[in-house]
Amino acid sequence: MTAKTPEFTPATLEAWHKAATKSAPGGDVSQLDWITPDGIRVKPLYTAADTQALPHADTLPGFEPFLRGPQATMYAVRPWTIRQYAGFSTAEESNAFYRKALAAGGQGVSVAFDLATHRGYDSDHPRVTGDVGKAGVAIDSVEDMKILFNEIPLDKVSVSMTMNGAVLPVLAGYVVAAEEQGVSQDQLSGTIQNDILKEFMVRNTYIYPPEPSMKIIGDIIEYTSTHMPKFNSISISGYHMQEAGANQALEMAFTLADGKEYVKTAIAKGMDVDDFAGRLSFFWAVGMNFYLEIAKMRAARLLWCRIMKGFNAKNPKSLMLRTHCQTSGWSLTEQDPYNNVVRTTIEAMAAVFGGTQSLHTNSLDEAIALPTEFSSRIARNTQLIIQEETHITHVIDPWAGSYMMESLTQEMVDKAWAIIEEVDAMGGMTKAVDSGWAKLKIEAAAAEKQARIDSGKDVIVGVNKYKLAKEDPVDILEVDNVKVRDGQIARLKAIKAQRDNAAVQAALQALTTAAESGQGNLLDLSIRAIRLRATVGEVSDALEQIFGRHRADTQKVTGVYAAAYDSAEGWDKLKGEIAQFAEQQGRRPRVMIAKLGQDGHDRGAKVVATAYADLGFDVDMGPLFQTPEECARQAIENDVHAVGVSTLAAGHKTLVPAIIAELKKQGAHDIIVFVGGVIPRQDYEFLYEAGVKGIYGPGTPIPASAKDVLEQIRKAVG
């Protein structure tokens, strides 16, 4: 006898409901529903009735709308590419890391550049003293690029480069390094991120304003589609949006809307959509929201197919969303850090179940410092174990037909599409970004999330629940920033002494002229300049003469943290203490939240500013990319009691002592300095000896830090 599929009649569902009420809180089954951060109601039970009306539940992988995967056979024939994102210190050290990783099972190179390079500064520029070689590899010229890829055959190994601001000289350096290795442009495979709209929203490693930045993107798409047919000209990135606080629906909607804008830009240059769309790729964050991450990736493929049909794309490759994924860095904890191995494994599984084409898995120590070789090996092996030991790869889209997953996928489709329509009504993503609306939506989501964690509503194991009584130290990788910078400056001097300076200046002038006239392809002209040994900084400066340098708005959201913080007693007590201070001193405690150096990751800074303001502090936000001198001057002019430095890029040992020294130099001995962010505990004593009054690492509840800052201010004012 063949077993029949059970039919969920009203009577059987009523029987389940009665059984469930016995254990449901207060006898109310609706209390078991889970409301996601995106506002989607997830039920505890799904049945066939939930999928009967879905339009795409019965489709095939490799065919429109690609819900179940962009390729027909997916991992059953070829697993995803293991592509570990790395870069630190010098080109020599990064090259050695890449070669070891490739020998140990890595299948592609993914380059992390330092912040000086991202922002188009050479290593000898005075604004980047604390940034060189710290959060990625320092690249000043094609000579650095040649070392970076030494003995890595660029005709065989695909290269992904996370670069947006200085995208022209960096991509040009890669092309010229390959040429001098004997590899022609048409042999190159890989991806350049080249996603500037996302930078204006969250990551902030931009150089030029939006309009000329979009011109650069168009030129790169145009050049690569002609000369580099195997190379992906843009990786449209949601990763940094989620890392900055966006929920899954916001991340997906804004990323797809960015992609739509880039397609419009290329078409406006006279290109046919099918000539370039097949080389566009995407980049998602994968966090701990397991079900939603899988649904997001399935929904995104469907929506991208819908969007590209709207541009009359006909080639199936133009309709097909292909993506790289990276496990969340934000979900990693400084406390009990070996838990991070588990978190990364769960996130990697979600990426695989969602159908990623390549994957980076973060290392357990990245909430503390740069990853060590030991932690990087565990991260890489996580993927190898999933590929080689679990047999997950043998089934294409294992979640297909799941009552819950198909329903949740459609919920994500509907939620994201509504946001995309809202963006379209504003005139597109460029206008949504220019207005500041998109950035504020993400910052509000970040503040709400942090409030749920700080109040214990959202559990983080080892941070706000099941905490260790004592934390053991973890070995970290530390970069000698001064040594790296000195080496880079020496190499820059040698290059400039040996090149034909007249030819270089002529090539740079050609770039400036093209930027002014709008004629000529800027990538083509950058390649010519880089061949002559122009530097990253020189190419960037040649364009900055015409385009200028973008300055971000520092507005902040208000009221969001307080509304989501679910621990009224402690909150109200602290608000009362702040009000009492104001009554005694004649003004409220005033703090300035600062970002020093070229670190543009401002999620922490914005969330802290929002929460402190909601508590009753007067809060000033310093502009991004300040020098210690500029920060001290603003703090004095604004008459603040304290400066809070937010750091995520390992420059704290250089920049924090510098701001303390500068405050003293300018006569402001009474302004206290506190620090928050990614700071190894091994560095705490150094910072305290430098004069820091409070250090608040990842996982510190914001009200706890605020209470401590208030106490320090009280001591300072007597």
Q: 3-state SS of 69-128?
A: CCCCCHHHCCCCEEEEEECCECHHHHHHHHHHHHHCCCCEEEECECHHHHCCCCCCCHHH
234-260 average pLDDT score: 95
Helix (H, G, I), strand (E, B) or coil at 336: coil
Is pLDDT at 718 greater than 80 in this prediction?
Answer: no
| Higher per-residue confidence, 229 vs 22 | 229
Angle in degrees, CA 419, 421, 425, rounded to 5: 115
Please determine, for residue 27, whether its predicted confidence score (pLDDT) is greater than 90: no
Please tell me the predicted confidence (pLDDT) of residue 564.
79
Q: How confident is the model at residue 19 (pLDDT cuts 50, 70, 90)?
A: confident
- pLDDT at site 143: 97
Please state, in angstroms and rounded to a whole number, the distance separating the CA atoms of residues 224 and 233.
6
pLDDT interval class at 569 (50, 70, 90): low
384: part of which helix (H) or strand (E)?
helix 373-389
Instruction: Give the pLDDT band of residue 1 (cuts 50, 70, 90).
Output: very low
What is the band of 519 on the pLDDT scale with cuts at 50, 70, 90?
A: very high
pLDDT at 677: 86
Q: What is the pLDDT of residue 79?
A: 95
Query: Global pTM?
Result: 0.88
Whole-number pLDDT of residue 658: 92
Max avg pLDDT among 77-91, 432-446, 500-514, 641-655 = 500-514
Mean pLDDT to the nearest integer, 2-8: 57
Mean pLDDT of 124-140: 89
Over pLDDT 90: what percentage of the chain?
67
Per-residue confidence (pLDDT) for residue 368, from 0 to 100: 80
Q: 50 CB contacts (<8 Å, ≥6 apart)?
A: 403, 404, 406, 407
Q: Look up residue 531 and give its amino acid.
A: R
pLDDT of residue 318: 96
Task: Look at residue 106 and tell me whether its pLDDT is greater than 80.
Answer: no
Q: Which tokens belong to 220?
A: 């790169």
Does the pLDDT of residue 477 top 80, yes or no? no
Phi, psi of 108 (to 5 degrees): -170, 165
pLDDT (0 to 100) of residue 566:
64
State residue 172's pLDDT score: 98
Question: Pick from 251, 273, 248: which is nearest to 262 by CA?
Answer: 273
Residue 4 scores a pLDDT above 70 = no
- AA identity, residue 33: D
Interval 10-35 mean pLDDT = 84
Greatest mean pLDDT among 557-561, 587-591, 713-717: 587-591
> Across the chain, what does the average pLDDT equal?
91
Q: Which residue has the higher pLDDT, 570 or 657?
A: 657
Rounded Cα gap, residues 183 and 175, in angstroms: 9
Cα 490-90-603 angle, rounded to 5 deg = 115
The band of 17, judged by pLDDT with boundaries at 50, 70 and 90, is confident
Beta bridge partners of 626: 596
Mean pLDDT of 265-279: 91
Burial of 465 per CB tally in 10 Å (0-12, 13-18, 19+): exposed
- For 206-210, 314-318, 370-374, 606-610, which range has the lowest pLDDT when averaged over its residues? 370-374
Residues 6 or more apart whose Cβ sits within 8 Å of residue 243: 202, 285, 328, 329, 330, 601, 603
In the predicted model, is pLDDT for residue 132 greater than 50? Answer: yes
Tell me which residues are annotated as active site.
85, 239-240, 595, 599, 601
Top mean pLDDT of 214-228, 294-308, 602-616 is at: 294-308
DSSP state of 289: -
pLDDT at residue 710 is higher than 60: yes
Average pLDDT over residues 469-495: 86
Quickly state the pLDDT bin for 481 (edges 50, 70, 90): confident
